[in-house]
Amino acid sequence: MHFDTAAFYRFTESYPANSYEAREPTHWLHTQKVRFGLTLQAYLRHRPAETAPAILDIGGYPGSLVKTLRLYLRESGTIDAAGLAGPDDFMQELAGYQVGFYPCNLDPLIGSYASPKELPVRIQREDASYEVIFATEIIEHTLDPLYLLKESFRLLRPGGVLMLTTPNQATLSNRLRALSGRSMYFPLKRSIMYDRSDWRPHIREYTMWEMATLLQDSGFEVVEKQFMDISQDDPRFWGWSHPLLRLARTALSPLMLIPSMRQGLLLVARRPN
């Protein structure tokens, strides 16, 4: 299937966002359209031959990916989402798109406070239930990423693929922070040490080598690795209105030609046959 990037960007403008997808100045899918587009292109490159593959989205809240699979790619097979339990109206909306939702806590090491302690620590599906699993922008929120990856491995059928995206720890902005003596990590006061709510901040970000190592140690074969230039999705870039800030953005943009300095990682991993 050919992926028309311009058509996808137009789709994000008319996409029926729910209130949980709201993000200034519009909604999550539209403000993150570059990352979503690159992820969907990779999915189509590795999509199984099945007419309607069974798909799971781990960390499915607020629903942007599963709704896009239904509305834009017209996927007609089983689509499920899993993650910390969402509000009732969110669950009802997913049901309207024929998307099942499995409440679970796939990081039990930090599930000892708030509501996650009441959730199952496995997705309540049989082994080898899916041809495709998405884990986009979720693994950086986990204390034990191997737990999530091994559960993904269990749920994939032999030959099935895991589509994973996560921030790049070695991005240009992080290198500049380190050079200036600032921390490359999530802001201290918003970290898990201070924030004991259901929200889980970034606990650790990874380099490409580290992420590939975690996948391989979980039993996967890594079949694609891509550094994503998603600077257009970053409000710090498109929100810069001051002329000097625009000049700085222009001056730094050639460094995005160096793949390892880009903002995002995309990896496709296969469960061996």
pLDDT tens-digit series, residues 217-258: 999 999 999 999 988 876 655 454 556 666 766 776 777 788
Superfamily of domain 5-270: Vaccinia Virus protein VP39 (3.40.50.150)
CA distance to 6, 21, 25, 167, per residue, from 31 (Å):
15, 10, 8, 16
Q: Distance between CA 145 and CA 247 in Å, rounded?
A: 39
* Cβ-Cβ contacts under 8 Å for 32 (sequence gap 6 or more): 64, 230, 233
Instruction: Note the pLDDT tens digit of each residue in 97-130.
Output: 999 999 999 998 876 555 566 789 999 999 999 9
Q: Report the predicted TM-score, pTM, of the whole model to 2 decimal places.
A: 0.92
Delimit the domains of the chain by residue range: 5-270
Q: What are the start-end ranges of the E strands in the chain?
A: 22-23, 26-27, 55-58, 79-83, 99-103, 130-136, 156-167, 221-228, 264-270
